[in-house]
């Protein structure tokens, strides 16, 4: 029994082809409990996405950190929308913090909230370790997300308007030589 547990534990750290929609569906209960009764989470998961090369733990860490930040930005009742989809870059682009991003097919995970939003000055600093806008925050959550996304050769786009909310979109390259997987949200 110990051997099986050790193998499963190690497997969760190994990069392999995974379906990001499966990871999101598997975390629904946890994410909804984290947000409590005053926040509604909605899901808009694209039905067919090719797999990405990552670990379940990477995707879970991204989701947890971004949903917690979205939750904390909502002062009263609110909505967090989690969406997935596909973006094709026909040519390389330059993205702040990530530098050059290669052309190709990217799956995205988008977390949108109707919280307090951020100024452009704050957005410029959010990837830095120890930077926080929270009274009791440690500033490590978004830095972890940036580190993971860089390791996956992806990038992040943040759009925000003060007092109107924020959208954080994480783009992860699709695994090479894959075809889109049919997916139905339970």
56-99: pLDDT as tens digits: 999 999 999 999 999 999 988 999 999 999 999 999 999 988 88
Domain-located, residue 68? yes
Q: pLDDT category, 125, cuts 50, 70, 90?
A: confident
* Reported pTM: 0.86
Residue 143 in any domain: the answer is yes
Q: What is the 3-state secondary structure (H, E, C) of the chain?
A: CHHHHHHHHHHCCCCEEECHHHHHHHHHHHHHHHHCCCEEEEEECCCEECCEEECHHHHHHHHHHHHHHHHHHCCCCEEEEEEEEEEEECCCEEECCCEEECCEEEEEEEEEECCCCCCHHHHCCCCCCCCCCCCCCCCCHHHHHHHHHHHCCCEEEEEEECCCEEEEEEEEEECCCCCCEECCCC
> Does 181 reside within a domain?
no
Tell whether the model's pLDDT for residue 30 goes beyond 90: yes
* 184 belongs to a structural domain: no
Q: Which range marks the domain in which residue 141 is found?
A: 2-176
What contacts 24+ positions apart, CB below 8 Å, involve 28-34? 30/64, 31/63, 31/64, 31/67, 31/82, 34/64, 34/67, 34/68, 34/71
* The total number of structural domains that make up the chain: 1
> Quick check: is 61 in a domain?
yes
**pLDDT value for 184:** 42
Average pLDDT over the chain reads: 87
Distance of CA 123 to the CA centre of its chain: 16
Q: Check pLDDT > 80 for residue 179.
A: no
pLDDT of residue 22 exceeding 90, the answer is yes
Would 113 be classed as within a structural domain? yes
Q: What is the pLDDT of residues 127-141, one digit of tens each?
A: 888 777 777 766 778
Arithmetic mean of pLDDT, 133-160 = 87
Q: Which CATH number belongs to the domain containing residue 154 in this structure?
A: 3.30.565.10
């Amino acid at each position: 029994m110990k051997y099986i547990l050790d193998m499963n534990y190690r497997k969760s750290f190994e990069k392999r082809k995974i379906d990001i929609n499966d990871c999101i569906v598997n975390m629904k209960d946890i994410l909804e409990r984290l947000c409590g009764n005053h926040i509604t989470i909605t899901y808009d998961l694209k039905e067919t996405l090719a797999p990405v090369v990552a670990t379940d733990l990477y995707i879970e860490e991204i989701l947890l950190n971004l949903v917690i930040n979205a939750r904390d930005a909502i002062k009263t009742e609110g909505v967090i929308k989690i969406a997935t989809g596909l973006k094709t870059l026909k040519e390389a682009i330059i993205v702040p913090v990530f530098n050059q991003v290669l052309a190709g097919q990217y799956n995205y995970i988008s977390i949108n909230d109707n919280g307090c939003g951020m100024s452009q000055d704050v957005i410029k600093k959010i990837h830095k370790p120890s930077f926080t806008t929270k009274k009791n925050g440690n500033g490590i959550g978004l830095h972890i997300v940036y580190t993971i996304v860089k390791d996956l050769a992806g990038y992040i786009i943040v759009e925000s308007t003060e007092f109107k909310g924020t959208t954080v979109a994480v783009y992860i390259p699709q695994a090479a030589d894959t075809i889109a997987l049919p997916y139905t949200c339970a």
